[in-house]
Amino acid sequence: MSDETSFQAPKGTFDLLPPDSAVFLAVRDALSAPARRAGYGYVETPGFESVGLFSRGVGESTDIVTKEMYTLTTKGGTELALRPEGTASVLRAALQANLHRGGNLPVKLWYSGSYYRYERPQAGRYRHFSQVGAEAIGAEDPLLDTELIVLAVDGYRSLGLTGFRLLLNTLGDRECRPVYRAALQDFLRGLDLDEETRRRIEINPLRVLDDKRESVQRQLAGAPLIGDHLCEACKEYHEQVRDLLTASGVAFEDDPRLVRGLDYYTRTTFEFVHDGLGSQSAIGGGGRYDGLSEMIGGPSLPSVGWALGVDRTVLALRSEGVALDLPAATDVYAVPMGEEARRTLFTVVTELRRAGVAADMAFGGRSVKNAMKSANRSGARFALIAGERDLADGVVQIKDLAGGEQEPVALNEVVAAVKSRLG
């Protein structure tokens, strides 16, 4: 423990600092870029919402609502929760702003932010985590489900990630799901389960299929499958999604037990997993949630979306040994010798920055030797060096930090000279 401060980040959280934070930002940009190109506009929602939004939308029986939400009561007596996921908030925001009323459906939105769950911390599972999400609100179309899956795949591929797999299932709709639910409940009631899991059978039996405990999974071997209870419309819808994915060059694995951890999913359900991450193998997932709008008091708005874990994706890249090609934080580092050079080079550095060049300099009156060490550590390609004699001659020395070559350039030509050298 450092003695620099008496405070530490709360248990189960972490600080993101350079240089690791540059990788995090690059992953966030790469995962959201395909959605931005596909007409998804950025949305940002508050970090906390009414507790009811999540208990009604995410589901009373989910671990997220029963065990993992951070809740607080305001001085005015309002019950709030730190957001445990993004979809319910984004849908609430779209409904509140009447984005669905213009007739221009689907409303396509993407977002990025931190989410909070009181979970047992372990590798790849934290109490605050970052996601990039995308939602298409107000249209029921297998093309849309496929579009979102393809956008996620393209985001992962653009990072150079290859070891991920797409698991695919359908959860039926309000026509066929009740029949399956009843069959599943009958089966589950005959198993040797604890009291809490028995309660879950009555509220949302599909959640029992998602139970990761070996003792439960063993007993689920003969459980009825949703695929055997689908109505014709759901069968046809799912076949279209499968065909469209294949036509788009996206490989998938049918997983008849995939249910996802939230109550609002219907029809298309999917998860991206990476085998290099151990037990926390999911790096993203989503699906169709046609009934969520009504659950939170809105009109019927069939919708589909996903959330991709930024932290998990970074871990997946590390497990594959993929190093991202990140732009240099600094291209040019200025090393002044003397007070006049400090002021002059500060002006030059400001001009370079305004011309779009990443530039930094030695602050605090450090020695030339110390400043040159910083220049090399910064990753800059060039150093700008100036002393009294250089300034008397109206020049600055440009030094190539890789090759060591150095040449004088007139003060008023430094910006152009640096830009041409950087290409």
User: Is 177 labeled as ligand-binding?
Assistant: no
User: Is 260 labeled as ligand-binding?
Assistant: yes
- What's the number of CA atoms in the CB half-sphere (13 Å) around residue 188? 28
Nearest 5°: CA angle at 311, between 306 and 317?
100
Q: How far apart are CA 107 and CA 91, in angstroms?
A: 10
Tokens encoding 217:
């999974």
User: Is 180 labeled as ligand-binding?
Assistant: no
Q: How far apart are CA 177 and CA 226, in angstroms?
A: 8
**Residues 368-375: contacts with CB within 8 Å, 24+ apart?**
368/335, 368/337, 371/335, 371/336, 372/335, 374/333, 375/333, 375/335, 375/401
CA 125 to chain centre: 14
User: Is 49 labeled as ligand-binding?
Assistant: no
Tell me the Ramachandran region of residue 328: left when phi exceeds 0, alpha when psi lies from -120 to 50, beta otherwise.
Answer: beta
Alpha helices per DSSP H over 142-291: 142-158, 177-189, 195-203, 206-209, 214-219, 232-247
The label of the residue with tokens 């001659």 reads: 393
User: Is 116 labeled as ligand-binding?
Assistant: no
Buried b (16+ CB within 10 A) or exposed e, 96-129: eeebbeeeebbbbbbbbbebbbebeeeebbbbbb
Are 23 and 325 in contact by the 8 Å Cβ rule? The answer is no
User: Is 66 labeled as ligand-binding?
Assistant: no
Tokens encoding 344:
């002059």
The residues, ordered by sequence, that sit 6+ positions from 233 with a Cβ below 8 Å of its Cβ are: 173, 175
- What's the number of CA atoms in the CB half-sphere (13 Å) around residue 267? 31
Alpha helices per DSSP H over 355-413: 368-377, 388-392
3-state helix, strand, coil in the chain (%, to 5): 40, 20, 40
Are 201 and 182 in contact by the 8 Å Cβ rule? The answer is no
Tell me the CA end-to-end span of the chain in Å, nearest whole number.
46
Reduced to 3 states, what is the DSSP secondary structure of residue 350? helix
User: Is 265 labeled as ligand-binding?
Assistant: yes
Q: How far apart are CA 339 and CA 206, in angstroms?
A: 71
The residues, ordered by sequence, that sit 6+ positions from 208 with a Cβ below 8 Å of its Cβ are: 184, 188, 193, 197, 200, 201, 216, 220
Residue set of the binding site for L-histidine: 85-87, 117, 131, 135, 260, 264-265
| Annotated binding-site positions | 85-87, 117, 131, 135, 260, 264-265
